[in-house]
A and B are shown apart, each in its own frame.
Chain A
Amino acid sequence: MIVPLSHLLVFASVLFALGVICVLIWRTNVIMVLIGIEIMLNAAMLVFVAGSYQWGRADGQVFALMIIAMTSAEVSLALAMVVYLHRRKNTVNVDEFRQLRDR
Chain B
Amino acid sequence: MKTALALIILLPLVGGIGNILLGRLLPRRVVEVTACSVIWLSFIASLFAAGNYNGPAVVEMGPWLSSFTFSAPISLSLDSLSLSLILMITFVCGLIHLYSIGYMAGDPGYVRFFALLNLFTGAMLLLVLAENMLLLYLGWEGVGFCSYALIGFWYKEAENATAGRKAFIVTRIGDIGLAIAVVWMFKLFHTFSITQLNQLGPSHPGVSMGLITALGLLLLLGAMGKSAQAPLMVWLPDAMAGPTPVSAQIHAATMVTAGVYLLMRMFPLIGGSTVVVAAIAVTGTFTAFYGATCALAERDLKRILAYSTISQIGYMMLAVGCGAVTAATFHLIIHAFFKALLFLSAGCVINALHHEQDIFRMGGLYRKLPWVFWPFLAGSLCLAGVPPTGGFFSKESILTAAWGKGGMFYGGLYLVGTFTVLLTVIYTLRMVFLVFGDRVPTLASRLEGAKASGPSVHALPRIMEIILIPLALLALVGGAAGGLLEYFLASLNGSAGHVRLATEETLKGVASLVVLAGMVIAWLYYGYGSQHREVRIAGAEHPPTRLVAFLQAGWYFDRLYDWLFIRPFTWLATILWQRVDEGVIDDSLDWTAVQFGRTGQFLGRWGSGRISVYMLSLVAGATLMIGWFAWEVL
Is chain B in direct contact with chain A in the complex (CB below 8 A)?
yes
The answer for the CA separation of A33 and B611 in the assembled complex, in Å, is: 10
Which residues in A have their C-beta under 8 angstroms from that of B609? Answer: 98, 100-101
Q: Do residues A94 and B611 form an inter-chain contact, with CB atoms below 8 A?
A: yes
Task: Report the minimum CB–CB distance from B605 to chain A (whole Å).
Answer: 10
Q: Is A23's CB within 8 Å of the partner chain B? A: yes
Q: Is B610's CB within 8 Å of the partner chain A? A: yes
Which residues in A have their C-beta under 8 angstroms from that of B607? Answer: 101
Within 8 A of B (CB), among A21-56: 23-24, 27-28, 33
Q: Is B545's CB within 8 Å of the partner chain A? A: no
Interface size, A (range): 10 to 19
Q: Is B502's CB within 8 Å of the partner chain A? A: no
Q: Is B619's CB within 8 Å of the partner chain A? A: yes
Which residues in A have their C-beta under 8 angstroms from that of B611? Answer: 27, 33, 94-95, 97
The answer for the CA separation of A98 and B607 in the assembled complex, in Å, is: 10
Q: Do residues A95 and B610 form an inter-chain contact, with CB atoms below 8 A?
A: yes
Q: Do residues B612 and A94 form an inter-chain contact, with CB atoms below 8 A?
A: yes
Which residues in B have their C-beta under 8 angstroms from that of A33? Answer: 611, 615
The answer for the CA separation of A48 and B178 in the assembled complex, in Å, is: 93
Which residues in A have their C-beta under 8 angstroms from that of B616? Answer: 24, 27
Within 8 A of A (CB), among B385-420: none
Q: Do residues B612 and A20 form an inter-chain contact, with CB atoms below 8 A?
A: no
Question: Using an 8 Å CB-CB cutoff, how does the interface string of B230-244 with A read, 1 for contact, 0 for none?
Answer: 000000000000000
**Of B610, B615, B619, the contact of A98 (CB 8 Å cutoff):** B610
Which residues in B have their C-beta under 8 angstroms from that of A28? Answer: 612
Task: Report the minimum CB–CB distance from B200 to chain A (whole Å).
Answer: 79
The answer for the CA separation of A24 and B617 in the assembled complex, in Å, is: 10
Interface size, B (range): under 10
The answer for the CA separation of A99 and B161 in the assembled complex, in Å, is: 68
Q: Is B608's CB within 8 Å of the partner chain A? A: yes
Q: Do residues A101 and B608 form an inter-chain contact, with CB atoms below 8 A?
A: yes
Task: Report the minimum CB–CB distance from A60 to chain B (whole Å).
Answer: 22
Task: Report the minimum CB–CB distance from B540 to chain A (whole Å).
Answer: 81
The answer for the CA separation of A101 and B619 in the assembled complex, in Å, is: 21
The answer for the CA separation of A28 and B612 in the assembled complex, in Å, is: 6
Which residues in B have their C-beta under 8 angstroms from that of A23? Answer: 615, 619
Which residues in A have their C-beta under 8 angstroms from that of B615? Answer: 23-24, 27, 33
The answer for the CA separation of A20 and B619 in the assembled complex, in Å, is: 8
The answer for the CA separation of A27 and B608 in the assembled complex, in Å, is: 15
B622 closest partner in A (C-beta): A20
Q: Do residues B608 and A98 form an inter-chain contact, with CB atoms below 8 A?
A: yes
Within 8 A of A (CB), among B583-634: 607-612, 615-616, 619
Q: Do residues B619 and A94 form an inter-chain contact, with CB atoms below 8 A?
A: no
The answer for the CA separation of A27 and B612 in the assembled complex, in Å, is: 5
Which residues in B have their C-beta under 8 angstroms from that of A20? Answer: 619
Best-surrounded residue of B607, B608, B611 (most CB of chain A within 10 A): B611
Task: Report the minimum CB–CB distance from A90 to chain B (whole Å).
Answer: 18
Task: Report the minimum CB–CB distance from A100 to chain B (whole Å).
Answer: 7
The answer for the CA separation of A24 and B608 in the assembled complex, in Å, is: 17
Question: Using an 8 Å CB-CB cutoff, how does the interface string of B278-313 with A read, 1 for contact, 0 for none?
Answer: 000000000000000000000000000000000000
B623 closest partner in A (C-beta): A20
Within 8 A of B (CB), among A63-103: 94-95, 97-98, 100-101
Task: Report the minimum CB–CB distance from B398 to chain A (whole Å).
Answer: 88
B611 closest partner in A (C-beta): A94
Which residues in B have their C-beta under 8 angstroms from that of A27? Answer: 611-612, 615-616
Task: Report the minimum CB–CB distance from A87 to chain B (whole Å).
Answer: 19
Q: Do residues A24 and B610 form an inter-chain contact, with CB atoms below 8 A?
A: no
Task: Report the minimum CB–CB distance from B181 to chain A (whole Å).
Answer: 68
Task: Report the minimum CB–CB distance from A16 to chain B (whole Å).
Answer: 11
Q: Do residues B612 and A95 form an inter-chain contact, with CB atoms below 8 A?
A: yes
Which residues in A have their C-beta under 8 angstroms from that of B610? Answer: 94-95, 98
Task: Report the minimum CB–CB distance from B528 to chain A (whole Å).
Answer: 97
Q: Which 6 pairs from chain A and chain B are nearest by CB?
A: A101-B609, A98-B609, A27-B612, A94-B611, A95-B610, A28-B612
Which residues of B come within 8 Å of A, CB atoms?
A: 607-612, 615-616, 619
20 A-B contact pairs sorted by A residue (CB < 8 Å): A23-B615, A23-B619, A24-B615, A24-B616, A27-B612, A27-B615, A27-B616, A33-B611, A33-B615, A94-B610, A94-B611, A94-B612, A95-B610, A97-B611, A98-B608, A98-B609, A98-B610, A100-B609, A101-B607, A101-B609
